[in-house]
Amino acid sequence: MASRYPFSAGEAVARTPLPSGACDAHIHVYDQRVPAVPGARLLPPDACMQDYRQIQARMGTRRAVVVTPSTYGTDNRLMLDAIDALGPDGRGVAVIRGDESDQVLQQMHRRGVRGIRINLSLGVSHGSEDIERLAHRIAPLDWHLQLIMPVEQLLLLEPVLRRLPVDIVFDHFARISPAQCGRHPVHALVLDLLRQQRAWVKLSGGYLVSAQRSSEDPALDELARSFIDAAPERVVWGSDWPHASASAGHQPMPNDAHQIDRLAQWAGDTTHLQQILVTNPERLYGFINELHP
């Protein structure tokens, strides 16, 4: 039976009660009225903030970080409109060319943007040679650089990553598969960058790295725990709603309530869950701590 919720399997709410201010640190919005860039590989159906609000209610989250997807290249209009709709509970991650004026970037900052993304897995806007240039461009704003790329490419870029003037955020488990946990040198590199307080990792899109194409894959447990054990203060979580790769038929549609329950299993206790969903996003994205504004 199909779910009545947009772009999410199932209908039940998450079993795990979440702390106040819990943040979903990785979502996208889509609207076919905004043209996709030539060569875009993901062309999902429209998915708007009104749709996402229903998913928030199922998960129990309140805050969200909207990331401009590869579909739109450096066109950030949908992301900016979405974080405007979220108000104080929204932040954004943009995709930029690097030749934007200081005024444009400062306006984006005022609207809630706190980082930029370079996607070398699906994106068509950047190459690896852009990483250092764009990092220096955003350093004065104290933004972070969110990266996604094949693990072999990530390993080759180690010298560049270690000298960047901004924090790195690896989304989607840094694209490390469970089979590579503890075995591939890129896993050791990411753990070292976490421990050195140079990087963060998003426990998002587990289904993208799972051999089962599912966030409920037990093989993800060791990988998720490896990041949490290495640096619990450097881990955030994201649903990756609306799961564009599922709309494209690359894997089954995830159940977002189950994704919350899986995170609770990885966290292991309420202290780590509070860190991953509240304390860490407050630091990384500049959300206001309601107890200590």
Q: Whats the size of the chain, residue-wise? A: 293
Structure confidence by residue, pLDDT tens digits, 125-152: 677 889 999 999 999 999 999 999 999 9
Look at residue 127 in the predicted model and tell me its pLDDT. 79
Q: Does 290 map to a domain?
A: no
Q: Does 102 map to a domain?
A: yes
CATH code (residue 141): 3.20.20.140
Q: Does 17 map to a domain?
A: no
Q: Does 255 map to a domain?
A: yes
Domain that residue 220 falls in: 23-285
Q: Does 14 map to a domain?
A: no
* Residues 62 and 50: beta-carbon distance below 8 Å: no
Q: What is the average pLDDT score of the chain?
A: 95
Q: Does 51 map to a domain?
A: yes
Q: Model-level pTM?
A: 0.96
Cis peptide leading into residue 19 (ω within 30°): no
Q: Does 87 map to a domain?
A: yes
Please tell me the total count of domains within the chain: 1
Please give the DSSP secondary-structure letter assigned to residue 134. Answer: H
Structure confidence by residue, pLDDT tens digits, 210-246: 999 999 999 999 999 999 999 999 999 999 999 999 9
Nearest to 170 by CA among 157, 265, 255, 253: 157
Structure tokens at 144: 């972070």
- Identify any residues that bridge with 64 across adjacent strands, giving them in sequence order: 24, 90
Q: Does 15 map to a domain?
A: no
